Structure 1
Amino acid sequence: MSPVSSNASHGQSPLRTVQVLGGGNAGSSAHVRSLAAGLVARGVRVTVCAPAEADRAYGFSGVGADHVHVPRSSDPGSVAALRAACTDADLVHAHGLHASFRAVLALSGRRTPLVVTWHSRAEAEGARAHLLRMLERRVARTAAVVLGTTSDLVDRARRTGARDARLAAVTLPGLRRPPEGDETDRQRPKLRAELGAMGRPLLVAVGSLDRQRGYDVLLDAARAWCRLDPVPLLVIAGEGPLRPVLQRRIEDEELPVRLLGARDDVPHLLAAADLALLTSSWESRSVLAQEALHAGVPLVATAVGGVPDLVGDAAALVPYGDAVALADTVLRLLGDPERREELREKGTRQAASWPTEDETVTQVLSVYDELTQPRPL
């Protein structure tokens, strides 16, 4: 049986928690919605503080949570709005660095326990990087517990001064699943024909066209695939600021690569693919990696951030920025159907080992109970 809040188990009024989001990226927003639904189902009162557009997009109110509009961090009134929303909270849980820092400011002078979850690593250069490190230290040293979605984020929190840093059990709610059975058999050849990948291997990468994704290295590696017969086709689903630069390289170097733009049929793309490629400089719990393993698609990924812990031995890992290693790994896998089948089987088993939404909520609630239970005199 899943635990209930300590207040409820002692016949007291229900535990009241406040979940704090900043702008709310897709991963953390989906996580908060799932967490809110699970906590409400266990008798916990939940208020989600986030911009109004986040509630419209993710429906926190629809799962039984109260929603309070708190503007983004750039709004000077955001801290005051958050402080008012946290007035009667038994515990505050903030998600992401900027939301966590605002929660620290809002709770200043109060004894309300603060839990923070770091879903990803804040990236910046120069003076902004120094500012982010200062924010990290303030948050880590103030929070009662820091939950990191990867082991390296937990280590980072500890180095930064966290009193208590733990690995978070986090699942990806609403994971886009591939089609199955007859639908796959119908869609696969049709989509491959539309993409121009009939009679040739299809490689799929998914993610915004920005520097973190390592697409420059991916294009370097694509040059090596040109010597194969037939030449593999690489398709990249996503949109972003680097599109003109990448498109120019593809045309100038005559690379076998297509930029597809933003797509809403990623599960179908993966179901049609021979390999999925993840070349980022850093990832927490990569959505593409999770979708690929669930779909039984062999994955080649950079050994960065939370990727090695996430995939275990169910993917071929390469160093970030090493185009030669990436190209060689892809070439070996394309020529080794037995190894690809082994990765498919391992991927399915690895995906089955990831935490469920219920396990995620159970872990978080156990932390809440630990911080809110009456202490012996």
Structure 2
Amino acid sequence: MSSSPVPVPVLRTVQVLGGASGGAHVRSLATGLAARGVRVTVCGPVETEGEYDFTGAGARFTPDAVSALRAACFEADVVHAHGVRAGMRAALALRGRRVPLVVSWHGGGPGSGRLSLLLERHVARAAAIVLGASSAQVDLARLRGARDARLAAVAVPAAAGPSGSSGSAGSFGSAGSSGSAGSSDAADHGKVRAELGAVERPLLIAVGSLVPRRGYSVLLDAAREWRNLDPMPLLVIAGEGPMRAELARRIQAERLPVRLLGQRRDAARLLAAADVAVLPSRWEARSPLAQEALRMGVPLVATAVGGVPELVGAAGVLVPYGDAGVLAAAVAGLLADPALRGELAMAGRAQALTWPSEDDTVAQVLSVYDELTSRRR
């Protein structure tokens, strides 16, 4: 008499978002986990579902109201929060329950002020495992008291081609993106440059939310020096945020060769048409702009902060944060040296091949979930 096979329980995970940051990564995880038979629930702000289409990735979406989050966590085998604030919300929702919490730190650097420090400490200690997108974030998590902190690089989904959608607020890798910059031919690059007003002048691009840590005030200081170049380059900044009015006033008052593009869903298309990408941030973990620039072969000038040196290696020009003169000189030097730009383009593509793929990222996260759930059996 044959016995019936014992059914294998379905792994249930809740992905908690504290905002739009991390949405592309969660979408990628949801797609990969659902394809592997994991039951995925994404809990986040309502607008993130419209932006990233988690249900289209095979997940169930629920708004991040406290009651909805608690209910979702009640049914979970593992809860995975993305960001410190999301980690705090998840820790509160799990209070009194023996459900392991994983927290990914793949956004900004260490917070400033006593409240931020307390928040980071609480989340680091509440998590069964902290996953850091860079070695710097792993070190920070350990410093804050994490019991187990590991490096878990976040793969940016391949950007869309010229007709596709890619990211929001000047970010990359939103739902539905596919292909690569190779599909953006010279004609499309010319069209983009004409739309931006950079047909016969160099085009520089920065991408990311208009917040202090992005270093845009320093970038505008550098743009003052580029006014002396002939031809004068145009800097475009794709992104939105609370610093917009301040930056716009400076651009107008100082007559800087800079355009604020606001929220763009075609950031990858703009990047592919640029001569140089600029990342002036005070802190970055695993910058999507840096990843896309190197992947596309767009020369990159970036600040040597956080996880940027580890990510970029020798495939970009790295400068200290806050030194507008050095930043301006680095960009000007690249514009004046086509051969160096060509070398960096090749080096960037080679460096990108060393990064983990989306499948690698999903496999690592799933192994963490399996490890945690096996402890409870």
CA contact (8 A) 1:237 1:262 kept: yes
Structure-2 residue corresponding to 1:25: 20
TM-score by length of 1: 0.86
Deviates more, 1:337-346 or 1:256-265: 256-265
Q: What stretches of structure 2 of length at least 5 have no aligned partner?
A: 163-179
C-alpha change, 1:47 and 1:207, in structure 2 (3 Å) is closer
1:154 is aligned to 138
User: Offset of 1:375 from its aligned partner?
Assistant: 7.3
The correspondence of residues 207-226 of structure 1 with structure 2, limited to 5 A, is: 207-226=208-227
Residues 184, 271 of structure 1: 8 Å contact kept: no
Query: What amino acid is aligned across from residue 142 of structure 1 in structure 2?
Result: A
* Partner secondary structure for residue 320 of structure 1: coil
Secondary structure at 1:166 match in 2: strand
Aligned to 2:252: 251
TM-score, length-normalised on structure 2? 0.86
2:310 — aligned with what?
309
Give aligned-pair identity as a percent. 62
Alignment of 1:128-143 (within 5 A): 129-143=113-127
CA distance 1:361–1:130, shift in 2 (3 Å): same
Deviations 1:17-48 (A, max 9, x none): 222222x324x122222212212222222222
| 1:197-276 equivalences in 2 (<5 Å) | 197-276=198-277
User: CA, structure 1 residues 34+180, in 2 after alignment: closer, same or farther (shift >3 Å)?
Assistant: closer
Pairwise CA distance, 1:266: 2.4
* 2:170 matched residue in structure 1: none
With 28-37 and 154-163 compared, the bigger mean Cα shift is at: 28-37
Aligned residue pair count: 356
- Cα distance in 2 for partners of 1:183, 1:122 equals 34
Contact 2:111–2:117 (CA<8 Å) still a contact in 1?
no
The match for 1:192 is 193
Q: In structure 1, the residue corresponding to 2:277 is in which secondary structure? A: strand
Contact 1:29–1:58 (8 Å) recurs in 2? yes
Deviates more, 1:51-60 or 1:100-109: 51-60
2:281 paired residue number: 280
Q: Distance in 2 between matches of 1:274 and 1:297?
A: 7
* Contact in 2 for aligned 1:97/1:122 (Cα 8 Å): no
Preserved contact between residue 18 and residue 49 of structure 1 (Cα < 8 Å):
yes
Residues 1:40 and 1:260: Cα distance change in structure 2 (over 3 Å): closer
Cα pair 2:109 2:284 within 8 Å, conserved: no
Cα 1:238–1:53 shift into 2, 3 Å = closer
Who wins on radius of gyration, i.e. which is larger?
A: 1
Answer yes or no: is the 8 Å Cα contact 2:236–2:260 preserved in 1. yes
User: Aligned to 1:89, which of 36, 52, 76?
Assistant: 76
Deviations 1:264-323 (A, max 9, x none): 332332232211111111122222212211221101011112211221111101111001
Using the TM superposition, name which of 310-319 and 56-65 deviates more: 56-65
In the alignment, which residue of structure 1 is the partner of 2:128? 144
* Partner AA of 1:88 in structure 2: E
How far is 1:177 from its partner? Answer: 4.6
Q: Does 1:56 align with 2:56?
A: no
* 1-structure distance, mates of 2:242, 2:278: 20
Residue 165 of structure 1 pairs with residue 160 of structure 2? no
**Farther-moved stretch of structure 1 (353-362 vs 249-258):** 249-258
The 8 Å contact of residues 36 and 65 in structure 1, kept in 2 or not, is answered as yes
What is the correspondence of 1:101-116 to structure 2 with a 5 Å cutoff? 101-116=88-103
Deviates more, 1:141-150 or 1:244-253: 244-253
AA of the residue aligned to 1:30: A
Q: Contact 1:60/1:66 (CA < 8 Å) preserved in 2?
A: yes
The answer to whether residue 28 in structure 2 is matched with residue 34 in structure 1 is yes
> Deviation per CA, 1:119-148, whole angstroms, max 9, x where unpaired?
2136765xxx31221121111112111001
Give the CA deviation at 1:172: 1.5
Question: Counterpart of 1:101 in structure 2: which amino acid?
Answer: M
1:74 aligned residue? none
1:99 to 86, 90, 97: 86
Deviation at 1:374, TM superposition (A): 5.1
The answer (yes or no) to whether the contact 1:176–1:291 under 8 Å persists in 2 is: no
Residues in 2 aligned to 1:135 and 1:53: alpha-carbon distance in whole angstroms: 25
Residue type matched to 2:8 in 1?
Q
Q: How well do the aligned residues superpose, as a CA RMSD in angstroms? A: 2.5
